[in-house]
Amino acid sequence: MKKIAFSVVATSSLALFVGTGDAEASTSYTVQNGDSLWKIASNNQVSVSDLKKWNNLTSDTIYPKQVLKLNGSTTQAESKPSAPNTTKPSAPPSSMNVTYTVKSGDTLSKIAQQHQTTVGAIQRLNNITGHLIFAGQTLQINGTPPATTTPSVPSTPATPSTPAPNAPTGSYTVVKGDTLSGIAHRHGITVTQLQNWNNIKSHMIYVGQVLKIENRVVESKPTPPVVSTPPTTSNSEKVNNIVNLAMSLQGTPYVWGGSSPNGFDCSGFLYYAYSKNGVDVPRTNTVGFHARSYEVDTPQVGDIVFFSNTYTSGISHAGIYIGNNKFIHAGGDRVQVSSLSESYWKKHFDSFKRLYAM
């Protein structure tokens, strides 16, 4: 009888121990490569705002091996991860400078995750104001930023204005992943200028093609605003037009290779919705759209949501994000609205990205 009693007590104690372990394990999560706050929140059925509040986060930036609390309770085990949060950022400045050469398909967020740093830190070290980078570009990853404060010495603003109109004529060789809009943006010119200088009638360019970059005419810029100001629409208005057009196409049949209201595939649907609203995008496939956009941590209406490993390996499907965790896409047998909470899309979710052309 005593043996039976002891056995029951031991079994219940073991169950209590195991239950306690499970409860503790579910209160925290270690960040993996490719994670985002949205992805972690979705997988653990909590909100991004709660995650940020529980972990004292002031932005959406996270890094691999960071331990995040998944609820509001505080335990001794969960308070320890705050220590590495302070030691990790302080280590890079004392180490030697590290550089990285951008490859086709890279984004700032991807490079930051690979080197356990932040997008903001890379932008500050390389004097980058946006998210635009290009293949072959060398980025400084850590160390001290280059001495860019010296240009503040020339207090005479007259000198910078004269060299600009006299910028020498140059050329640019197209690399994989380039678009006319991306090249124009990097050189501070317009797509129309590039087309005129190189006798290009379409947006089609190819790897190895040498494009002429003419002198920039600075004096001509003050006059166009009088004409161009009335027709221009705000970016938010453009986004609304894109989403409204996309929503009006619900029920259009899915047609492989289709890019018209007679039938769409997923990339043809994106091309139609964006190009009809003045966004400079070529007719390409899903991988092409992926290469022409940069990753964002917090999606906005009008961004593109990408999925991988659906009918083929790698990036294979995309739709337009319309808010409330939903997106519209040409999938299945028609154009339709789906939820990112659905198990299938949740399983194949890859990233939110924004077109450089936007």
Integer Cα distance of 319 and 150 in angstroms? 46
Active site residue 187: no
What is the full DSSP assignment across 256-302?
TT-EETTEE-HHHHHHHHHHTTT----S--HHHHHHTEEE-SS--TT
The least confident of 5-9, 92-96, 108-112, 173-177 is 5-9
Residue 228: pLDDT above 50?
A: no
According to CATH, the topology of domain 167-217 is Membrane-bound Lytic Murein Transglycosylase D; Chain A (3.10.350)
146 pLDDT band, cuts 50/70/90, is low
- Catalytic position from the list 115, 131, 317, 348: 317
- Catalytic position from the list 131, 185, 203, 266: 266
336 pLDDT band, cuts 50/70/90, is very high
Element (H, E) at 305: strand 304-308
354 pLDDT band, cuts 50/70/90, is very high
Name beta bridge partners: 318.
306
Contact (CB, 8 A) for 276 and 298: no
pLDDT of residue 26: 60
* Residue spans per domain, the chain: 2-88, 95-140, 167-217, 235-355
Active site residue 290: no
pLDDT of residue 73: 60
Domains 2-88 and 235-355 in one fold? no
pLDDT of residue 102: 83
Please give the average per-residue pLDDT across 203-213, as a whole number.
85
If one looks up domain 2-88 in CATH, what number appears? 3.10.350.10
Q: Out of 3.40.190.80, 2.60.120.280, 3.10.350.10, 3.50.30.10, which CATH number does the structure's domain 95-140 have?
A: 3.10.350.10
The pair of structure tokens assigned to 308 is 């991988």
User: Side chain identity at 91, as an amino acid letter?
Assistant: A
Q: What does the pLDDT look like over 151-174, one tens digit per residue?
A: 444 444 444 433 333 333 578 888
Name beta bridge partners: 321.
327
Three-class secondary structure assignment of 230-260: CCCCCHHHHHHHHHHHHHHCCCCEECCCCEE
Active site residue 348: no
- Catalytic position from the list 185, 290, 329, 348: 329
pLDDT of residue 331: 92
Q: What does the pLDDT look like over 264-293, one tens digit per residue?
A: 999 999 999 999 999 989 999 999 899 899
CATH architecture of 235-355: Alpha-Beta Complex (3.90)
Q: What is the mean pLDDT of the chain?
A: 75
Contact (CB, 8 A) for 172 and 207: no
Integer Cα distance of 344 and 328 in angstroms? 15
pLDDT of residue 14: 39
